Amino acid sequence: MISFVISISVLIIGYYTYGKFIEKVFGVQKDRKTPAFRLQDNVDYMPLSAWRIFMIQFLNIAGLGPIFGAIAGAMYGPSAFLWIVLGSIFAGAVHDYFSGMLSVRHDGLSISEVVGVYLGPKTKHVMRFFTVILLIFVGTVFLVGPAKIIDGMTSNQWGVWGWVTIILVYYILSTLLPIDKLISKLYPIFGIAMLLMALGLLGALFFGNYQIPELVPGNLINMTTNPEETPIFPMLFVTIACGAISGFHATQSPLMARCIKNEKNGRKIFFGTMITEGIVALIWAAAAMTFFGNVEGLNIAMLENNNNAAWAANEISLNMLGGVGGFLALLGIVAAPITSGDTAFRSARLILSDVFKSNQKKIKNRLYISFPLFIIAFILTQIDFGVIWRYFAWSNQTLATVVLWTITAYLIFENKTYWVTMIPAMFMTMVCSTYILIAPEGFELANDVAYIGGCIITLLITFFFWSYTVKEKRYLINEI
């Protein structure tokens, strides 16, 4: 319990200390007019209050990741606490803050377009395709996932596909309608439900008879059933994504960059929501480690239930919070993925509208772009959920890595403290490259070979990045 309390405290302290440092590195201009005012169209560009944007951003980024990912990550033991805390502060929150604020500075541009500004047009074209594919994966995952949960809650009365249809209709409406018509009205309610769920579990952990394992050297080992097949590095760092760092967040931040009233609200909205999500992930990881008796018990229970994190979340909620509390918690679990799925499709629409220079004020233009996205997502629902989730997990962290390199380029060009993103960029490059070399959905190489390969790839990418930025900076200086 002591390590758990310290972990939450460190996250909060990180917001007030490292968050202020990152804000200073960026250089907020509180008198600068934001895109919400300069480009207001009352569809996507629209000034909203800071608290409302906070709730929307929090729900945008907090899908199933800090719940399902935290439960799966808890199977590794207390090492998960360490990654959630350090990842959230030094990687995830930094990634989210800069991706959001750079979008603010570039008229609310989608992340693929921001990447193009700093890493060149070729990278931009690749990122456009990659980001839209990722968002379709997200929409598909967060279409089937909540449908299965609701179907279980309602004793299979309408069937999974009945709920898939209902959720899809909601996704279509939330993608097409102006942001203040549906999203800004529902999200505060959903946000309260999710936060109450987390607070309920936190209370149960404090006042119930639960023993949370401590973060001591003896527990910093791989506690999964088969450590050789699931090594902590890189598996843990991909398993827990949304609770530590997630590229999906960078696709969501431009939505709020188009609504933020003042740059000084950026730390609260972008850095703060990531820290909040880290706290939620910590709570779920702790609950998973203790509810089944211990980490070994969690691994056994998950193995017996096909590693179904949705089943584990259901068991934890109903048993730790009782009937009413458990039901409310499950509503939070359902709200989280749905409120990420709808904005995933909305983000994809905005990216494609940037690509094709399509004015989104007319609903027919929104429909032309959105309709093919929903068709593709529905087709993908026919593929095994586990397969979609694994590819989503890797592509999600890869996008985060590219965004970190993009921010680093920006900081180098602006003569700012670039190590704040270059260090996590190198680390995540090592994670993603090693993962694809070692994972079943990748090349399935031996662990030692994958580690060596990951090191070589990381060094090469770092070398080429440095060469590119030095060349571009010299060009910029000559232009001036």
Please report whether residue 246 resides in a domain: yes
Q: In this structure, which amino acid lies at residue 343?
A: T
- Answer whether 95's CB lies under 8 Å from 424's CB: yes
91 CB-near residues (< 8 Å, 6+ apart): 244, 245, 400, 404, 424, 427, 428
User: How many CB atoms within 10 Å of residue 215?
Assistant: 19
Segment 441-451 mean pLDDT: 92
pLDDT of residue 421: 97
Q: Which percentage of the chain shows pLDDT scores above 70?
A: 94
Distance separating alpha carbons of residues 159 and 433, to the nearest angstrom: 39
**Smallest Cα–Cα separation from 299: which of 29, 43, 35, 77?**
77
Q: How many CA atoms lie within 13 A of 325 on its CB side?
A: 18
In this predicted model, what pLDDT tens digit does every residue of 340-353 receive, in sequence order? 778 888 888 888 88
In this predicted model, what pLDDT tens digit does every residue of 62-109 receive, in sequence order? 766 788 889 999 999 999 999 999 999 999 999 999 999 999 999 999
Question: What are the distances in angstroms from CA 361 to CA 326, 353, 364, 370?
Answer: 42, 11, 9, 14
Confidence of residue 355 (pLDDT cuts 50, 70, 90): confident
Cis omega (within 30 of 0) on the bond before 424?
no
Token pair in block for residue 405: 């390199």
In this predicted model, what pLDDT tens digit does every residue of 107-159 receive, in sequence order? 999 999 999 999 998 898 888 888 888 888 778 777 877 787 777 767 777 88
Please report whether residue 294 resides in a domain: yes
Q: How many CA atoms lie within 13 A of 80 on its CB side?
A: 37
Complete DSSP assignment for 136-194: HHHHHHHHHHHHHHHHHHTTTSS-HHHHHHHHHHHHHHHHHS-TTTTHHHHHHHHHHHH
Distance separating alpha carbons of residues 366 and 353, to the nearest angstrom: 8
pLDDT of residue 135: 85
In this predicted model, what pLDDT tens digit does every residue of 266-308 receive, in sequence order? 999 999 999 999 999 999 999 999 999 999 999 999 999 888 7
Task: Taking each helix axis as running N to C, give the angle between helix 160-176 and helix 363-380, from 0 to 180 degrees, rounded to the nearest 10.
Answer: 150
Token pair in block for residue 418: 């670039």
Please report whether residue 353 resides in a domain: yes
Domain that holds residue 291: 2-385
pLDDT of residue 403: 96
Distance separating alpha carbons of residues 111 and 177, to the nearest angstrom: 22
Please report whether residue 404 resides in a domain: no
pLDDT of residue 158: 82
Please report whether residue 380 resides in a domain: yes
CA 461 vs. chain centroid, Å, equals 24
Q: What does R_g of the chain's alpha carbons equal in angstroms?
A: 21
Cis omega (within 30 of 0) on the bond before 234?
yes
Question: What are the distances in angstroms from CA 388 to CA 138, 206, 311, 434?
Answer: 9, 36, 18, 20
With b for 16 or more beta-carbon neighbours within 10 A and e for fewer, the 415-427 pattern comes to ebebebbbebbbb
In this predicted model, what pLDDT tens digit does every residue of 180-231 receive, in sequence order? 777 777 777 777 777 778 888 899 998 888 889 998 888 889 999 888 889 9
CA 213 vs. chain centroid, Å, equals 26
Distance separating alpha carbons of residues 206 and 192, to the nearest angstrom: 21
pTM of the model: 0.90
Domain count, the chain: 1
pLDDT of residue 424: 97
CATH number at residue 199: 1.20.1740.10
- Answer whether 349's CB lies under 8 Å from 367's CB: no
Please report whether residue 86 resides in a domain: yes
pLDDT of residue 480 exceeding 50, the answer is no
Please report whether residue 274 resides in a domain: yes
Reduce the DSSP state of residue 231 to 3 states and report it. coil
Please report whether residue 421 resides in a domain: no
pLDDT of residue 475 exceeding 80, the answer is no
Reduce the DSSP state of residue 249 to 3 states and report it. helix
